[in-house]
Structure 1
Amino acid sequence: MSTPTQPAVDPERFVLGNPSAPVTVVEFGDLECPYCRAAAPVLRRLVEESDGRVRLVWRHFPLFQVHPHALAAALAAEAAGAHGRFWELHDRLFADQEHLTDDDLRAHAVALGLDPEDLVGERAEQHADAVRADYADGLALEVPGTPTVFVDGVRFRGRIELEALRAVVDALEA
């Protein structure tokens, strides 16, 4: 009988905020998703205005069936993350979602001072296991689409709005 194994990739490799914050918000997101783009500043404010109580963990859930560049963007973000630049690329891609082709990703890399060939093609493919692990974890958690947010392991339902998220965080600490 075999025992279940953990994913080979650290699921908390991209953390925004205090890594030891008592409340963890996990977002399963797609870098080509307009709803994720809209949620990004809300989630960032939640973390930044929490006085170190909240951290945000990004997990990839590229909806490649509807977003043709989502998978390439996820691989590029992983590659940027390997250089400690995940959040910078994350923010750039959301700010310029209309430009996610390989050539666009190369241009984003140059703007960040990264080797453009690290973010596309064969070199970016080395990060496929991390994206697959996130996606598989999302499927196991029955993530229905993006963005899907969990607050301390409980799926948040409803619109990604600052006051609603703050209420959930405050209730956890009560």
Structure 2
Amino acid sequence: MSKNKNPVTQKSGLSTNIILTIVVVVVAVVVIGGVLLFNRGGADNTSSGSSGGGNAVAAEILRKPDSNVLTSAPDRVTVVEFLDYQCPACHTYYSVLTKQVEKDYAGKITFVVRNFPLSMHPLARPAAQAAEAAALQGKFNEMYHALYDNYDAWALAADGQNVSTDEAKARGLFDQYAQQMGLDLDKFHQDMNSPQVNAKIDADVADGNKAGVSGTPTIFINGKQFDQGNIETVEQLNNAFRGELDKELVK
């Protein structure tokens, strides 16, 4: 994943809007396809059911009382995503699927976010620390969106192709996002590096391992891992994912 290209930042004579459109409808397929193959090669990801099949992962593993929640609803459908903020595939999923699902299913589903920073992404943990520090001031949703909406600025190297290793630059941008959302910056800095925040991230990773997570993004719908199966296009991904949500909503 660390060497996935991101054409959003490649130089071109096309306008930014056109480039973004191309990324969404074409490049996302490549990135999604790569993560699908990666995840299918991981532990315990085989199934025949469209939402993961097999036994559901226990709710107490997937969600803790202090887990961050993007949207809340009566406990009919709970979506839990284990993610890495610097993961190119996670950013693509956010861009073409989960950001819009969050809006379209607001009030219908509970959407839980868990941390699973991968060692191949050097800024994934600092980003998770920023998200958790913002959460302690009641601004998790805002920081979650800021990290992904500004992904190219902090997560990618200057070549626009590889993931960045520039932690100082990333932390400076995290500070900007924190200031824009009105956070106490001194507290934000203290919390980012606090034992509490680091323990929270470690606990998320431990739960992800218990749940069989081997790559990111890994998503569970009502305890069962979303089966990415033979999905190859953005349209197929959206149809499959929304189909599972709709099926669970009418149970």
Question: How would you bin the TM-score normalised by the shorter chain?
Answer: 0.7 to 0.9
Structure 1: distance between partners of 2:66 and 2:104: 21
Q: Where does residue 3 of structure 1 map in the other structure? A: none
| More helix per residue | 2
1:73 to 127, 133, 142: 127
Question: What 5-or-longer segments of structure 1 have no aligned partner?
Answer: 1-5
Q: Distance in 1 between matches of 2:225 and 2:123?
A: 27
Q: Name the Cα RMSD after superposition.
A: 2.3
Shift of 1:143: 0.6
Matches within 5 A, 1:26-105: 26-41=80-95, 42-50=97-105, 52-63=107-118, 65-97=119-151, 98-99=153-154, 101-105=170-174
Distance 1:12 1:163 in 2: 31
1:165 Cα deviation (Å)? Answer: 1.0
1:111 positional shift:
1.7
CA distance in 1, matches of 2:65, 2:215: 18
For residues 112 and 24 of structure 1, what CA distance do their matches in structure 2 show?
Answer: 27
TM-superposition CA deviations, 1:62-81 (whole Å, max 9, x none): 11x11111101101100101
Partner of 1:115: 184
The superposition leaves residues 60-107 of structure 1 with CA deviations (integer Å, 9 ceiling, x where unpaired) of: 0011x1111110110110010111111111111112223162222222
Which residue matches 2:193?
Answer: 125
Q: What code does the residue aligned with 2:179 have? A: V
Of residues 158, 161, 168, the one that matches 2:244 is 168
Whether the 8 Å contact between 2:85 and 2:147 is mirrored in structure 1 is yes
User: How has the CA–CA distance of structure 1 residues 85 and 51 changed in structure 2, closer, same or farther, with 3 Å as cutoff?
Assistant: closer
Aligned equivalents of 1:110, 1:90: Cα separation in 2? 14
Matches of 1:102 and 1:61, distance apart in 2: 19
- State the match for 1:139 in structure 2: 209
Q: CA deviation at 1:36?
A: 1.2
Instruction: Give the one of 56, 61, 68 matched to 1:14.
Output: 68
Q: Number of aligned pairs?
A: 166
Q: CA deviation at 1:166?
A: 1.5
Measure, in 2, the Cα distance between the counterparts of 1:10 and 1:34: 26
Q: How far 1:55 sits from its partner (Å)?
A: 1.8
Extract unaligned runs of 5+ from structure 2: 1-59, 156-169
Evaluate the alpha carbon distance shift between residue 33 and residue 51 of structure 1 in structure 2; reply closer, same or farther with a 3 A threshold: closer
More strand by share: 1
Give how far 1:21 is off. Answer: 4.3
Deviation at 1:13, TM superposition (A): 2.7
AA partner of residue 85 (structure 2):
L
Structure 1 residues 51 and 60: alpha-carbon distance in aligned structure 2, compared to 1, 3 A threshold:
closer
Alpha-carbon distance in 1 for matches of 2:187, 2:132:
10
Which has the bigger relative contact order, CA under 8 A and spacing at least 6? 2
